[in-house]
Amino acid sequence: MADADAIRLDRFLWFARLAKSRSAAQAIAEKGTLRLDGRRIERSAAPVRVGAILVFPLYGKVLALRVEALPKRRGPPGEAALLYTRLQTQAPKQVDAAESGA
């Protein structure tokens, strides 16, 4: 990607330490459950820019992130945490047996 103001989605997920490996980042991106600025993404090469909103399930939770900076490397966790801001998300609603009438 020649665009200096964007980075591949899989590289962002890996550099930001949201995935343990680059292949795990590719799997997250290609699963089809990730949304980038409201659009469903199925390619790991999708460009991510500053200000983009990412929403995706990870480890049983739904993460919503705003990209604050583009990484140049995979740095330590403290550095990676500066790359994004977590946005407020609603937890999936749990249906009680009493509510469902079961």
User: Hey, what domains does the chain have and what are their CATH numbers?
Assistant: 7-88 (3.10.290.10)
pTM of the model: 0.81
Residues 25 and 41: beta-carbon distance below 8 Å: no
Q: pLDDT digits over 4-47, tens only?
A: 799 999 999 999 999 999 999 999 999 999 999 999 999 999 99
